[in-house]
Structure 1
């Protein structure tokens, strides 16, 4: 059963002698971009200035998780360096440098090796802002220390259905946050959550990774047990939930992003518990991403109003349902 959907590491670094990006002027920002460019271009990275991208290129990179809202907000100062299969390097977003890499497996140690190589490369050419008592200095005090943020996206439909409040409270007490997988909405949509530790001061990277990995293994195990419980003890409720999602997605004529995520969550629960039997394999995150607002507009090649997006999304979902079932 697929519970963990994505694992990501972000390393935040700042260059000594410069203000944080919120206080940078254009000349200082360009100096940072130029300093970082030299070693990355030598390693085969390609440089993109955010201001030089068109609206759809920005939207595409944002939807793929290769740039952040902070980079977009600072587009006159920011840049991104990309290389196929390598960590992305973002400049002048929330901090001077963010090195990030994600995976669809629980393999933080492997991801850390990759981002560390890029970090070591830059560290050999730059002077990072660092203090012995605080570690790496970042614009967000909670990231000081390792300057590393771990994040996982998990699918917890059975736990959510049976009552997710207890696990969310437990995670909070242990120093972890669990937020809904939505773009800015406060609603808990589709039983998909982002889980990450709240702070990084006082821990070594290896310890930080080990603790978080163990927490995630417990979360995954709990969800698997709850799925079995739901199937064995509440099969009628489960079949009703899944078939309502199936019917909505198969016959909808207009559907917004939040409802799409919610129904896809229920649909995939049905697939994984063999209530529904698709003709071909599909992945939850990949499927959701195809029907998100940004992807729809990229596909159409124009910015769409809300109703047009929701109609196009419904049309595309009906086509997918016909192909898969």
Structure 2
């Protein structure tokens, strides 16, 4: 089976599952960054050196008995696929924009359900990414640690006794660990509490980004909360801090949703129904409006206002309505106006099929 099947389906299999507090936490991600000893970091590596890194790392997970539950891994070289397929992999959060656009001999290793994405020759030689549905930060960390140990048993990492793991970017030096939760926080936005909450988050060593990480905009009331500090804390301390803060944000969002229902039920119901109606019948829809109205519908379903599409359908639409996937689905290059028409059509078709 072709590896391009990973770009044919919008929804990764792991996203069909449910985790703790999945009505608020869409997904959990843990990523560790590593580099090989005695080989220049990717930015300075020659073509031969980056090719050596690819060959050494891509062979590590073959025939590993401990990985049977994850299924076989498939290696996709980025220089062997079309630009559109790279864009779809970015939209599915399986690779970073940096790997898609700037890497030399870059590749990604994906397991069957796409819950593990291992990037090679990105900003660092190796980036292990583990994804879980809902709020499962400790589970994601356990899996990332297992994979990290397997690689470390086969290759020598660049490591300093004082600084820890050495990385291309100083902000990753130390543990090399980035843990994050993707949170849907519409009630905190509607009740105008979000600025206060996110300001408090920044005071405890965490940062807030958009759905595609650093430099991206938070759209559709989706916020990525992750650790900012990798040096001076242990992995356990980083995970525990994010876990504790995320639980508090979840509680604030739940309280805000209860407040909306008790104090503004008619208005929130009207907002949800308007968005559902527009999504069901609109002929043109830009990406920002689609994200916002899909957020309204998701909230309406979670609050019991609307017997609407399940979360798996909403997750799928969040990917399917992105520019790359739209063009992949309809098999043609689309300008912005054409994408807006096709996006509206795709949403109408999905809603008309009912709540499958």
TM-score, normalization by structure 1: 0.93
1:155 aligns with 2:176: no
- The more displaced of 93-102 and 294-303 is 294-303
1:169 to 175, 199, 203: 199
Native 8 Å contact 2:93 2:212 kept in 1: no
- The offset of 1:199, in angstroms, is 1.4
Corresponding residue SS for 2:59: helix
Query: Which residue of 2 is the match for residue 71 of structure 1?
Result: 99
RMSD between aligned residues = 2.0
Query: Which residue of 2 is the match for residue 140 of structure 1?
Result: 169
Corresponding residue SS for 2:310: coil
1:36 aligns with 2:57: yes
Q: Cα–Cα, structure 1 residues 18 and 171, in superposed 2: closer, same or farther, change >3 Å?
A: same
1:221 aligns with 2:251: yes
Native 8 Å contact 1:157 1:191 kept in 2: yes
1:25 to 39, 43, 46: 46
Q: Cα–Cα, structure 1 residues 58 and 146, in superposed 2: closer, same or farther, change >3 Å?
A: same
Query: Which residue of 1 is the match for residue 77 of structure 2?
Result: 49
Corresponding residue SS for 2:62: helix
Deviations along 1:288-310, whole A, 9 cap, x unmatched?
A: 12222222111112221111111
Q: Cα–Cα, structure 1 residues 9 and 222, in superposed 2: closer, same or farther, change >3 Å?
A: same
Native 8 Å contact 1:95 1:138 kept in 2: yes
Matches of 2:28 and 2:129, distance apart in 1 = 11
Q: Cα–Cα, structure 1 residues 52 and 70, in superposed 2: closer, same or farther, change >3 Å?
A: same
Matches of 2:290 and 2:215, distance apart in 1 = 14
Matches of 1:183 and 1:131, distance apart in 2 = 27
1:237 aligns with 2:267: yes
1:205 to 235, 244, 249: 235
Native 8 Å contact 2:117 2:129 kept in 1: yes
5 Å-filtered alignment, 1:161-310, equals: 161-163=190-192, 164-181=194-211, 187-278=217-308, 281-283=310-312, 284-310=314-340
1:10 aligns with 2:41: no
Matches of 2:55 and 2:240, distance apart in 1 = 36
Deviations along 1:35-56, whole A, 9 cap, x unmatched?
A: 2133223445332211011234
- The offset of 1:134, in angstroms, is 1.0
Corresponding residue SS for 2:252: helix
Native 8 Å contact 2:213 2:224 kept in 1: no
- The more displaced of 257-266 and 37-46 is 37-46
- How many residue pairs were aligned? 324
Native 8 Å contact 2:104 2:121 kept in 1: no
Query: Which residue of 1 is the match for residue 4 of structure 2?
Result: none
Native 8 Å contact 2:119 2:127 kept in 1: yes
Query: Which residue of 2 is the match for residue 317 of structure 1?
Result: 347
- The offset of 1:90, in angstroms, is 0.9
Q: Which runs of 5+ in 1 are unaligned?
A: none
Matches of 1:42 and 1:260, distance apart in 2 = 44
Q: Cα–Cα, structure 1 residues 187 and 67, in superposed 2: closer, same or farther, change >3 Å?
A: closer
